[in-house]
């Protein structure tokens, strides 16, 4: 398929989208592995320091019959708006800052997910699990925005043998962890040593870390 696409790019005459669609329909009805195809195209340009970018993108829609339409978060508007959401997977290089598209998936509407006792986090994880073999063949790191810095998402990502690279939300509440020796006093020993203020960090209190 790579040779076919290179041939299309090298043909001097005009080839429109309709001609390409017709050729695909006439070939066969089987599903093409475009994710693997996109990987094959991108990997020659990607070095060892890479990761998978996981980005949901909101598209405004107002129609009543648009598939999977619902209310999704729009980062631009800073609120949930009516439309559709496209979930994009791409491979990125940390040094060259290049990004190559692997797959785009239409997010199932929140109403449909709720009817099936699923959340958006469950849907996002399902997309990753579907391509987990291909992802692990590239890297073990997934990069996502602060929305995904949630316990239920992080735990499921770790279960998939992946590591999440993200940032904390603005309202993240962190506590200094105390590691005091056990005493004979009654009651549960003190575990936390106060709230962490990022503008006034205490270096001595950052030696101990715990995921909970």
pLDDT at residue number 24: 61
Q: Which residues contact 74 (CB under 8 A, 6 or more apart)?
A: 58, 60, 80, 81, 83
Give strand pairing partners of 85.
58
**Lowest-pLDDT range of 67-76, 109-118, 122-131, 196-205:** 196-205
Q: Are residues 109 and 201 in the same domain?
A: no
* Structural domain containing residue 91: 34-172
- Same domain? 157 vs 178: no
Q: Are residues 144 and 189 in the same domain?
A: no
Residue 177 lies in a domain: yes
Instruction: Answer yes or no: is pLDDT of 203 > 90.
Output: no
- CB distance 92 to 144 below 8 Å: no
Look at residue 119 and tell me if it is in a domain: yes
pLDDT at 202: 76
* Mean predicted confidence (pLDDT) in 92-96: 93
Q: What is the pLDDT of residues 126-183, one digit of tens each?
A: 999 999 999 999 999 999 999 999 889 999 999 999 999 998 888 788 888 777 667 7
> Are residues 155 and 207 located together in one domain of the fold?
no
Q: Residue 29: pLDDT above 50?
A: no
27 pLDDT more than 80:
no
Cα separation, 196 vs 173, whole angstroms: 8
Between 16 and 118, the more confident residue is: 118
Whether 6 maps to a domain, the answer reads no
């Amino acid at each position: 398929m790579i040779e076919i696409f290179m041939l299309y790019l090298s043909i001097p005459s005009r080839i429109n989208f309709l001609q390409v669609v017709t050729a695909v329909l006439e070939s066969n009805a089987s599903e093409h592995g475009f994710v693997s195809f996109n990987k094959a195209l991108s990997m020659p340009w990607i070095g060892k320091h890479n990761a998978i970018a996981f980005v949901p993108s909101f598209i405004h829609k107002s129609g009543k019959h648009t598939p999977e339409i619902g209310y999704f978060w729009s980062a631009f508007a800073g609120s949930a708006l009516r439309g559709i959401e496209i979930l994009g997977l791409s491979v990125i290089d940390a040094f060259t800052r290049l990004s190559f598209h692997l797959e785009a998936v239409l997010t199932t509407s929140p109403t449909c997910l709720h009817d099936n006792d699923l959340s958006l986090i469950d849907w996002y994880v399902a997309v990753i699990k579907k391509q987990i073999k291909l992802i692990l063949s590239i890297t073990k790191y997934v990069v996502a925005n602060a929305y995904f810095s949630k316990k239920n998402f992080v735990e499921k990502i770790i279960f998939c043998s992946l590591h999440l690279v993200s940032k904390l939300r603005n309202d993240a509440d962190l506590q200094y962890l105390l590691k005091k020796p056990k005493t004979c006093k009654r009651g549960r020993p003190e575990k936390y040593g106060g709230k962490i203020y990022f503008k006034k960090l205490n270096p001595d209190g950052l030696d101990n870390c715990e995921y909970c």
